Chain A
Amino acid sequence: MRVPTKRQAAHRGAYQILAYTCKRQARYYSSVPNVVFEGPSPEKHEPLNDYSGPENGDTLNAYISAGKEELYPIHRTYYAVKNNIIFKIDPTTCGSAILQDYMSPFYATIATRFGRIYGLPLRTTNMDEFGMGSHSTNSHFGAVQNVPPYEKYSAGGSSGGSAVAVAAGPFKMALGTDTGGSVRLPAAYTGIVGFKPSYGFVSRFGVIPYANSLDTVGVLARTVAGVAESRLFHGYDAKDPTHATVEARTRMNANLANSDVCPLDIHDLGGRQHLKIGIPLEYNIAEMDSVVRQAWQETLEKLQSEGHTIVPVSLPNTKHALSAYYILAAAEAASNLSKYDGVRYGNRSSASDGAGDVLYSKTRGELFGEETKRRILLGSYTLSSSAIDNYFIKAQKIRRLVQRDFDRVFILNNPLRPSDEQFDLTDMDENVEMADKLGPSRVDFIICPTAPTLSPKLEEVVSQSPVESYMNDVFTVPASLAGLPAISVPFRLSSEDHETGAPPYVGIQVIGQYSDDWRVLAAGRVIEKLLGCTKHSQALRCCNANSQAPFYVTGPSSHHDYPPTEDFAIPVQKVQCDFDAKMRT
C-alpha cells in the first residue's frame, strides 16, 4: 500500500479549470479583461534578455533598432501624435525634462496600428507635462500658442500641440490623450473636432499614463468624418489589461441592438432620425460666458427645428465631479510618477541619488515641473493614511454617483452594470419634468458646451490660480469619470457675437452612454451639419504653419526618418477634396 501521490500531474488539470472559470467570470466583469485566458502560454515565451546588465550597456540601443517593426503604410497620411504615445520617432518626453531623451524600446499598440495604416507620424506634439494642465503651458519645452492670428490665446490642454497641428492646417489628424478633457478642450479652443472614446476602447499599452483609470486615447481632426475615418478602434490587445475584450464588446453590441435607441449611422444621416437630447440643468453655471451660453442655446434651437426633442435632465452630482476628479487623477498621477527616479531611464540630477532628505529628491525636485510637483504632493496627501478616508475614498464614491447620474438619463443601459438598477429620485433637480411615474424621460445624448468660456489669453492663464484653471474642465470631467464617449464639435461665432479678439469658437460637446461611441460620432456629425461652419472654410488660413510652429516638441530630430521636405508641403486643398469625396460615399 502506498500513500496517495502528491504534487504529480495535478497541475495541468488545475490550469484548464482556471482558464475555464476565468472565461466564465469575464461575463460579469467587462472591465476585467485580464481574467480571460489569453496571452502567451509558458512554452511560447521568449525571455526578454540583456536589458540592463552592467556589461551590456549597448544592448538597449541594439534592442531599439532590432525591435523597430517593418511598417508598410496602407494610406500614407500626415498626422501628428501627442508626445506621450510611444512612436519611437522622437524621444517620448511627455513634455517633461525627466524624459527629455527617453527612447522607449517598444511601440505603443496604437502606434503599431497607425504605423501600419498611415506610416509613421510626422511630428510628435507638445503637451502639458504628463498631461497635467488645461492650456498646454506646463511643458518643459515651452507653452503652446493658439493658431495665428490668435497666438496670444490658449490652445487648450493638455493635447494643445496636437490640436494646433490640425487646426493650423498641415496635418489631417492628430492623436491625443484625454484624461479629464485633454482632447476636447483643445479642440474647442482651436475650432476643430476632438473625440474621446469610451474608456478601454483604445489600447493604452505604450501610452505613458497620467491617471490610468481615466486615460483614453483620442483623435483630433477638422471634421467629424475625419475622426470617424481615423480607424482609432482596433481589435483586442492583450497587452492592456483594461482593454475591452472581444466577449465584452460582443455583449455591448448585443446590448445596443436590444435597446430602444434610435439607430444612427454616420454614413447615412439622410433619414429623419429624431433624437432625444438631454440638457443637464446643473451645467448652466454662473461662471459660463454669455457667448458660450448663447451658442449652446442656438445649437439646441437648431436641433429642435430639425425635429429632435430637447428635454431637461438632472445630473445632481456634477457639482462634486470636478473635485473628485482632481483628487483621483492626482492620486493616480502621484503613484504613476513614482517610477521616475533616473535610475533605469530618464534624466538624473548630477547630485547623488541619496542627496537631500529623501532618496531621489534631487532628481525629482529638479526635473519635474511646478504643476507636476503640485499634483504629486496633492496625490500623496490624499492617499496618506490620515487623509485617504476623507479624500480618496470619498472621491471614489462620488465617481460612482456620477456614473449613476449618467446611467439614469440615458435610454441605453450601461452594459457594465445590471440593467434593472433602481434610481432614487429625491436628489434630482426639481425643474426636471417627469415623463411618467418612474422618472424623467431618458435621452440619447447629452449636449452641453465643452468649456464654460472662450479660449483665455495666455497671460491670464499664467496669473490664474491653479484652482481657477482647474475650473476649465468642469464640463469635460464628468464624462471622463464615467468613462463615457464624448465629442467636441466647433461652433463658429459670428463677428457681431464676438468682439473680444479671442478665437471665435465654442466647443459643443456630445456625451453618450458607455460603448455608444459610433452613435456619438454620428450625433456629432448631425450637429456639425446643422452648424454648417466647420474648419473647411478656414483651413487654408495658415498653410505655412510648419515654419515657426510652436506646437512641435523641441528635441533631437536627426536620428529618425522624416519624409523629405518637399513631401511635406501638403496640398491642403487636395486633402480637402479627398475628404469631401469620402463624405459623399
Chain B
Amino acid sequence: MVRNPASALRKYLLGGRIGNSGCLFDRSKDVISHHRIHHGARTLQTDADHAQPDTAIPFRKQLKEEARKRKAELKESAKTKNRSLEQWELTVGIEIHAQLNTARKLFSSASSTFDAAPNTQVAYFDLALPGSQPIFQKETLIPALRAAIALNCRIQKTSKFDRKHYFHWDQPAGYQITQYYEPFAKDGHISLYPHDGIAKEDGDEVRIGIKQVQMEQDTAKTTTTLGDVHLLDFNRAGLPLIEIITQPQIHHPQTAAALVRKIQILLNSVDACVLGMQSGGLRADVNVSVRKRDDVGKGFEYGDVQGLGKRTEIKNLSSFKAVEDAIIAERDRQIALIEGGGFVEGETRGWNIGNPGTVRLRGKEGEVDYRYMPDPDIAPIVISDDLLDHVQNTLGVLPEEEIRLLVADYGVTTKDAMSLVSLDNGYRVEYFRNVVDHLVALTSRDVSAGSSKPQNASDEAVSQTLKLGRLANNWVLHELGGLISSEEHNKLDFTPEGLCQQISHEELATLIHYIETKRVTGRAAKRILVDLFANATEGTKVSLDELINSHGLWFTPLASEEYAAIAMRVFDEKVAQEILDGKEGKINYLVGNMIRLAEDGKVDPVEATQAMRKAIETFKASRG
C-alpha cells in the first residue's frame, strides 16, 4: 500500500487550506500566502478575502463557505461533463493482482509468512543465487484453482510458466516468472448487480468477461529509501500471486470499483487470497479509453473487444476509491484532450491520492520489451480432472448465493448481507451465523420449557430464524461496528470459524436473548456491550451476568403506578393537546422524555407508551 506523505493528504482533504503550522486557527503569514496562491486564478470571487485577510473569520464558517462554493462549481462542471459524457463512451479493463493464500512461495519452500523480520523468509532461489533452481510448489495451485473456478473460468489442462524480463532492484533474477503464453485459466466472467454498487446506467445486471487468470511471482519490497540507497526486503520476493485480467467491458467508473470490490469478496470467500485490498494484498491496474458513441467500428482492439479508442494504463491502484477516482480523472483528461484537438497516446500513467489527475509515467518509447521466454527449468503444469472436481466440490457457497440465503433465511437486508459477507475476510458472517445458532438454541430452550407441544415446529423455526436473524444482524453489524474505532488497539479479532476473541458469540447471543425476554432493555444492553468490549481489550474478563449484576442493569419492571408517576412528571399540556388534535407521533416525544428521566434502561417503551396514553386520556377527560 502506498504511503502518502502528510502534505499530500492535507492537500487532498481541504484543497490545501490547512496550514503547515498544524494549528487550524493560526492564520499566520504563510497560510495567507498559501491561500493567495491557491486562489490566484479566481481573484474576482475572492476579493473579500484579500480585503480583510487579518480579520478572523471563524474557521468553521470559512470552511462552510468554501464547501458551498466548491459544490456549486462541481455542479456547474458536472453539468458540462454530463453533456460531454453523453457523447463519449468510456471503456475500462482491469488487471487485479492478489496474493494467494499458501504456506510457501511459488517456486521455493520458503515460508510466505508476512510480518517476519526483513530477509528472514528467503530461499536460495528467491535471491536468484547462481545454480539455484525453481521448484514449483504444487500446493499453490489449490487456492489459484479456487479463485479461477469462482470466476467461472475454463481451467487449462496444461499450462506453462514464462520469464518476463526487465531490470529492477526488486526483481532479483532480472525476470519475473509468470504465465504469458499459456495461463492456467481462461474465459471466465463475473456478474454484477445493483447491490454490488454498480452504476445506475448499468441496469439490473452487468456481466464482465475475465480474459485470463495467471499465476506469477511477487517482487521484493523496497522498505526504505535513504537518498540514493534503497533497502530491500526479499521476504516478499517469489510469493505466489494471481493476476486476473478482465475484458475491456466496463463503461462506468463506479462499476469498475464495484467489480474490484466484488472480486475481493469472492477471493476471500473461496479462501484464495490472503489480504484485502486496503491492506495491500490486492493491487489493480486499469486501462482506460474513450470513444465517441457514434464512432462504432473503427479504432483499436483490446482483448476480445474491437473498435476502441487508444488506451492508457494506470498502474498500482491500491484502494477501491483510487480505482474509481483514477478512472474518472483519466476519462476526463482523455475527453478534454480529444475535444481540444489532441489525441491520446498509449502510455503508462500513475495516480496518487491528492493529485487532481493522472500523471504520465512513461510513454510508448519508454516501454520495456519484456522478451517473454518459456522458462526452461519449469515443466508444464498438468491439472487433472479429479483434482478439478475435488476443488469444485469443496468450494462451498459463493457470496452471491450466501447473500441470497442471508436475505431469504435470516431476514437480513441485501445491503446488510453484503456488508456481513465482506467484513473481516468473511469471518464476520460466520460469527453472525454462530450468534444466530446460539440465539435459536436459547430461545427454543425457553419455548420447550414453557409449552410442551410445539405446533408445526419447522414453520415456526423458520420464522423464528428470520426474526432472530434480523435482530442479531443489527447487533453483529451495527452495534459491534460501533465499538471499533480507527485506533489500532480497538479492534475485534474474528477467526475463520467465526469465533471472536473480544466478545464471544455466546455472550452476544445471550445478551440479545435477555433483550428478547425483557431481562435487560436495549439501552442497557448497549452499555453492557461497551463495557464487555472495554474489559476484553484491557484483558480483564468479567462474565456477562456479573457485569449486569455489578451495574444493576437487570430490568425490574416498574409497577404501573410508577409508570403513571413518571408520565405525570414529563406531562406537557401543550403537547398533549397536539396529540389529541391528531399529531399521534408526538407521543413518542413524551415517551422519550420518560425513558430519559428514569434510571438507565428501567423504562420499557411499550409500558411507558401505555402509561402516557392513560395520562392523556385523563387529561382529555379532565378537560372534557
Q: Which residues of A contact B (CB under 8 A)?
A: 1-8, 10-11, 13-15, 17-22, 24-25, 28-29, 31-35, 37, 39-40, 42, 45, 47-54, 56, 86, 92, 94, 99, 102, 104-106, 108, 204-209, 211-213, 238-242, 331-332, 334-335, 337-339, 341, 343-345, 352-354, 358-360, 380, 383-385, 388, 392
Closest to A353 in B: B169
A241's contact among B131, B135, B391, B394, by CB below 8 Å, is which? B135
Would A39 and B109 count as touching, CB distance under 8 A? yes
Of B115-123, B274-282, B477-485, the one touching chain A: B115-123
Distance in angstroms between the alpha carbons of A240 and B163 in the assembled complex? 18
Distance in angstroms between the alpha carbons of A338 and B368 in the assembled complex? 14
Closest 8 CB pairs of A and B: A338-B174, A6-B396, A10-B394, A32-B379, A21-B384, A383-B371, A213-B376, A212-B376
Given contacts A35-B382, A56-B119, A106-B129, could you give 11 more A-B pairs where the C-beta distance is less than 8 Å? A1-B465, A21-B384, A28-B382, A35-B136, A37-B138, A50-B119, A92-B130, A99-B130, A335-B174, A358-B167, A388-B372
Q: Which residues from B are CB-within-8-Å of A345?
A: 127, 129-130
Q: Which residues from A are CB-within-8-Å of B578?
A: none
Q: Which residues of B contact A (CB under 8 A)?
A: 103-104, 109-111, 117-124, 127-136, 138-139, 141-142, 163, 165, 167-169, 172-175, 228, 231-232, 234, 269-271, 369-373, 376-384, 386-387, 390-391, 394-397, 402, 405, 409, 433, 437, 465, 496-497
B379's contact among A34, A48, A52, A209, by CB below 8 Å, is which? A34
B396 smallest CB distance to A (angstroms):
3
Would A35 and B379 count as touching, CB distance under 8 A? yes
Distance in angstroms between the alpha carbons of A18 and B163 in the assembled complex? 25
Distance in angstroms between the alpha carbons of A20 and B384 in the assembled complex? 10
Q: List 8 A-B contacts (CB under 8 A).
A: A2-B433, A18-B139, A25-B382, A35-B138, A94-B130, A335-B174, A338-B174, A343-B169
Would B379 and A22 count as touching, CB distance under 8 A? no
Q: Which residues from A are CB-within-8-Å of B378?
A: 34, 241
Would B397 and A3 count as touching, CB distance under 8 A? yes
* Contacts A21-B384, A241-B136; A359 near B167 (Cβ below 8 A): yes
Q: Which of A10, A31, A204 has the most CB of B within 10 A?
A: A10
Q: Which residues from B are CB-within-8-Å of A25?
A: 382, 384
Distance in angstroms between the alpha carbons of A427 and B270 in the assembled complex? 55
Q: Which residues from A are CB-within-8-Å of B135?
A: 34, 39, 238-239, 241
B450 smallest CB distance to A (angstroms):
23
Closest to A29 in B: B379
Would B269 and A6 count as touching, CB distance under 8 A? yes
Would B402 and A15 count as touching, CB distance under 8 A? no
Closest to B223 in A: A54
Would B167 and A205 count as touching, CB distance under 8 A? no
Q: Which residues from B are CB-within-8-Å of A14?
A: 142, 387, 390-391, 394
Would A344 and B128 count as touching, CB distance under 8 A? yes
Would A7 and B117 count as touching, CB distance under 8 A? no
A102's contact among B122, B130, B169, B174, by CB below 8 Å, is which? B130
B320 smallest CB distance to A (angstroms):
23
Would A338 and B165 count as touching, CB distance under 8 A? yes
Would A339 and B270 count as touching, CB distance under 8 A? no
Distance in angstroms between the alpha carbons of A104 and B386 in the assembled complex? 42
B30 smallest CB distance to A (angstroms):
35
Q: Which residues from A are CB-within-8-Å of B110?
A: 45, 47-48
Would B234 and A3 count as touching, CB distance under 8 A? no
Q: Which residues from B are CB-within-8-Å of A360?
A: 167
Would A206 and B131 count as touching, CB distance under 8 A? yes
Would A53 and B119 count as touching, CB distance under 8 A? yes
Distance in angstroms between the alpha carbons of A48 and B111 in the assembled complex? 9
B100 smallest CB distance to A (angstroms):
13
Would A383 and B173 count as touching, CB distance under 8 A? no
A216 smallest CB distance to B (angstroms):
13
Would A53 and B371 count as touching, CB distance under 8 A? no
B373's contact among A1, A209, A335, by CB below 8 Å, is which? A335
Q: Which residues from A are CB-within-8-Å of B121?
A: 47-48
A506 smallest CB distance to B (angstroms):
33
Q: Which residues from A are CB-within-8-Å of B132?
A: 106, 205-206
Q: Which residues from A are CB-within-8-Å of B433?
A: 2-3
Distance in angstroms between the alpha carbons of A92 and B130 in the assembled complex? 9
Would A48 and B387 count as touching, CB distance under 8 A? no
* Contacts A32-B379, A52-B119, A209-B131; A45 near B373 (Cβ below 8 A): no
Would B394 and A13 count as touching, CB distance under 8 A? yes
Closest to A358 in B: B167
Would B380 and A29 count as touching, CB distance under 8 A? yes
B504 smallest CB distance to A (angstroms):
19
Closest to A215 in B: B376
Would A51 and B122 count as touching, CB distance under 8 A? yes
Would A51 and B119 count as touching, CB distance under 8 A? yes
* Contacts A3-B405, A6-B269, A339-B174; A11 near B104 (Cβ below 8 A): no
Distance in angstroms between the alpha carbons of A19 and B163 in the assembled complex? 26
Would B369 and A331 count as touching, CB distance under 8 A? no
Distance in angstroms between the alpha carbons of A223 and B131 in the assembled complex? 30
Would A35 and B131 count as touching, CB distance under 8 A? no
Would A359 and B130 count as touching, CB distance under 8 A? no
Would B109 and A45 count as touching, CB distance under 8 A? yes
Closest to A204 in B: B133
Would B396 and A52 count as touching, CB distance under 8 A? no
* Contacts A15-B142, A45-B109, A208-B131; A2 near B437 (Cβ below 8 A): yes
A5 smallest CB distance to B (angstroms):
7
Q: Which residues from A are CB-within-8-Å of B391?
A: 14
Would A50 and B120 count as touching, CB distance under 8 A? yes
Q: Which residues from B are CB-within-8-Å of A388?
A: 371-372
Would A6 and B271 count as touching, CB distance under 8 A? yes
Would A32 and B270 count as touching, CB distance under 8 A? no
A403 smallest CB distance to B (angstroms):
15
Q: Which residues from B are CB-within-8-Å of A337?
A: 174
Q: Which residues from A are CB-within-8-Å of B169?
A: 341, 343, 353, 359
Q: Which of A28, A56, A108 has the most CB of B within 10 A?
A: A56
B141 smallest CB distance to A (angstroms):
7
Q: Which residues from A are CB-within-8-Å of B141?
A: 18
Closest to B381 in A: A35
A463 smallest CB distance to B (angstroms):
33
Q: Which residues from A are CB-within-8-Å of B369?
A: 384-385
Q: Which residues from B are CB-within-8-Å of A50?
A: 119-120
Q: Which of B127, B376, B390 has the most CB of A within 10 A?
A: B376
A158 smallest CB distance to B (angstroms):
16
Would B142 and A11 count as touching, CB distance under 8 A? yes
Distance in angstroms between the alpha carbons of A338 and B130 in the assembled complex? 11
Distance in angstroms between the alpha carbons of A32 and B497 in the assembled complex? 39
Distance in angstroms between the alpha carbons of A7 and B402 in the assembled complex? 14
Would A47 and B120 count as touching, CB distance under 8 A? yes
A7's contact among B167, B234, B271, by CB below 8 Å, is which? B271
* Contacts A29-B380, A32-B380; A53 near B120 (Cβ below 8 A): yes
* Contacts A50-B119, A241-B378; A338 near B167 (Cβ below 8 A): yes
B361 smallest CB distance to A (angstroms):
16
Q: Which residues from B are CB-within-8-Å of A51?
A: 119-120, 122, 127, 234
Q: Which residues from B are CB-within-8-Å of A335?
A: 163, 165, 174-175, 371, 373
Q: Which residues from A are CB-within-8-Å of B122?
A: 48, 51-52
B120's contact among A24, A28, A49, A385, by CB below 8 Å, is which? A49
Would A31 and B379 count as touching, CB distance under 8 A? yes
Q: Which residues from A are CB-within-8-Å of B371?
A: 334-335, 380, 383-385, 388
Q: Which residues from A are CB-within-8-Å of B231?
A: 54
Would B133 and A239 count as touching, CB distance under 8 A? yes
Closest to B116 in A: A47
Would A344 and B139 count as touching, CB distance under 8 A? no
Q: Which residues from A are CB-within-8-Å of B394?
A: 10, 13-14
Would A383 and B373 count as touching, CB distance under 8 A? yes
Would B131 and A338 count as touching, CB distance under 8 A? no
Distance in angstroms between the alpha carbons of A240 and B234 in the assembled complex? 22
Q: Which residues from B are CB-within-8-Å of A35?
A: 136, 138, 379, 381-382
* Contacts A21-B384, A39-B109, A360-B167; A241 near B138 (Cβ below 8 A): no
